[in-house]
C-alpha cells in the first residue's frame, strides 16, 4: 500500500521528516519515533484546560460562558510549524469535533477541530501577522478563537481535564507511534 493511501497528509509529513534516513554524523540510520511517549510528557498540559485528545485541541473555559480554544503543544509537535492560521469568522456556529480553523503547514493545509460547540465570538487578531504564535505559545498568545458555549455539559463527555490529561496524551502519542510503525 502506498504511503499516500495509508496515512493522512499530517502523518505523511511526519513519516518523511522522521524516517530512518542515514545520519552522516553517526554513519548509520536514525531511529524513527522511539520517544513518542516522551514527547508527550515533555510538553506542558496546563491542568485548567479541557482537552479533546483525539484532535489535539484545548479549551479554556471562562466564567462568562465562553471558552478560548487552541492547538495542544503535542499536536503542534506532531504536525510541524504553522505558516498560516485562518479561524472561522465571528458569528459562525461550530460543533465539537468539527473545523474551527484552517492552518497551513509546510506541505499541507489542515482543519483544526473545535473542542467545544457554540458560536465564535472572537478570533485572535495576532495570528493575522504572526501565525507562528500558534506553535511558539500554544496556550498563551497562540489561541485561535473564543467561543460562546452552547452546552458544555454535553461537550464534557469527550473532553479530558485535570489529572487525566497526562496519561491520555501519552496514550495518544503511543497510538500515533503505532500507526507509524505498521508495515
In the chain the beta strands, taken as DSSP E runs, fall at: 22-23, 28-29, 50-52, 57-61, 66-71, 84-87, 93-94, 99-104, 109-113, 118-123, 145-149, 160-161
**pLDDT tens track, the chain, 183 positions:** 333 344 455 554 444 444 444 444 444 444 434 444 444 445 577 888 999 999 999 999 999 999 999 999 888 887 878 889 999 999 999 999 999 999 998 878 999 999 999 999 999 999 999 999 998 899 999 999 999 999 999 999 999 998 888 888 888 877 766 433 433
- Note the pLDDT of residue 27: 47
Question: By the 8 A CB rule, do 122 and 60 touch?
Answer: no
The domain spans of the chain are 3-181
- Note the pLDDT of residue 46: 87
- Note the pLDDT of residue 126: 94
* CATH assignment, 3-181: 2.40.50.100
**What distance in Å separates the CA atoms of residue 169 and residue 175, rounded to the nearest whole number?**
10
Amino acid at each position: 500500500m502506498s504511503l499516500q493511501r495509508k496515512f493522512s497528509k499530517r502523518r505523511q509529513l511526519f513519516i518523511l521528516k522522521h524516517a530512518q534516513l542515514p545520519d552522516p554524523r553517526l554513519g548509520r540510520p536514525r531511529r524513527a519515533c522511539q520517544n513518542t511517549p516522551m514527547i508527550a510528557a515533555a510538553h506542558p498540559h496546563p491542568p485548567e484546560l479541557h482537552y479533546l485528545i483525539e484532535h489535539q485541541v484545548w479549551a479554556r473555559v471562562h466564567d462568562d460562558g465562553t471558552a478560548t480554544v487552541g492547538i495542544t503543544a503535542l499536536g503542534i509537535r506532531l504536525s510541524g510549524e504553522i505558516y498560516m492560521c485562518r479561524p472561522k469568522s465571528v458569528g459562525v456556529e461550530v460543533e465539537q469535533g468539527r473545523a474551527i480553523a484552517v492552518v497551513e503547514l509546510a506541505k499541507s493545509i489542515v482543519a483544526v477541530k473545535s473542542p467545544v460547540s457554540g458560536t465564535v465570538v472572537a478570533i485572535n487578531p495576532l495570528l493575522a501577522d504572526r501565525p507562528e504564535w500558534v506553535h511558539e505559545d500554544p496556550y498563551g498568545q497562540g489561541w485561535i478563537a473564543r467561543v460562546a458555549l452552547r452546552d458544555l455539559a454535553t461537550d464534557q463527555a469527550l473532553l479530558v481535564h485535570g489529572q487525566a490529561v497526562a496519561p491520555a496524551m501519552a496514550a495518544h502519542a503511543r497510538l500515533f507511534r503505532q500507526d507509524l510503525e505498521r508495515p
